[in-house]
Amino acid sequence: MLRLILALALLACPLTTAVAATPCREALALGLDVSGSVDDDEYRLQLEGLARALDNAQVREALAALPGAPVRMMVYEWSGPGDQRVLAPWAELSSEAAIAAFQARLRGTARSPMEPTTAIGPALTFGARALAQQEGCWRQVLDVSGDGKHNVGPVPRGIDMGAVTVNGLVIARPDNIAELSAYYRAHVLRGAEAFVETAYGFRDFEEAMVRKLLKELAILPLAQAGDSSARGTLPQRGERLR
């Protein structure tokens, strides 16, 4: 069903000459919060959670749905205003070998010292610059994960993101997840299709990332036309993931 939905969406999205020359379905940058509130165990849970999310059967199906227009992905970490580091550079996740190499980069990463502050604004700027390098992509999406509010440097709402869609993955305790989700909606998210996914602590990160990737990898035109079949295949909170 997902392959059919994506194929129909492709027909609804005529390509320009430039895009046809270098097809890319989506450029997806993922920014991981490694500020002082994230301990070493939580740091590993993020990297391993993302790597394991890429093994999920539905995520693999979504990545492979349009072989002629692959998804490009990169991962970076962020904390203070001057602290952003690429963990896995841009790669086309168009084969099992490419995905395995991407996962290996994540799993082989050692933590580096960074400022303990939470600078979401500069993290957005870094992600926007990385996405600007990816030409010929139908969509540009920035996925910002975090467990706290911005507290230093240029404020998130003041960052010009252009046409980039910014989604959020909020990691929080049950007693403050509503407040932090509302903060992300008000200050971080960009674009009409932007959304917040929630993880109840870092041990829920993998399942939250799977839900998030499935939404981000879906092609939008049919959904915008009122077709809900693609959304109906997404696992909901509390549903066991394969």
Q: Is residue 79 part of a domain?
A: yes
Sheet (strand 71-78) strand order: 84-92, 71-78, 24-33, 137-146, 165-172, 196-200
In a domain, 185, yes or no: yes
CATH number at residue 113: 3.40.50.410
For the chain, 242 residues long, give each residue's pLDDT as a single digit of tens: 444 334 434 433 333 333 334 589 999 999 999 999 999 999 999 999 999 999 999 999 999 998 889 999 999 999 999 999 999 999 999 999 999 999 999 999 999 999 999 999 999 999 999 999 998 899 999 999 999 999 999 999 999 999 999 999 999 988 899 999 999 999 999 999 999 999 999 999 999 999 999 999 986 443 333 333 333 333 444 333 33
Find where tokens 């046809």 sit.
Answer: 20
Classify residue 11: in a domain, yes or no. Answer: no
Give dist(CA 196, CA 143) in Å, integer. Answer: 10
134 Cα distance to chain centroid: 15
First and final C-alpha spacing in the chain: 17
**Residue 157 within a domain:** yes
**Domain residues for 59?**
2-6+25-214
Looking at the 3D structure of the chain, how many domains does it have? 1
Rounded Cα distance, 242 and 232, in Å: 16
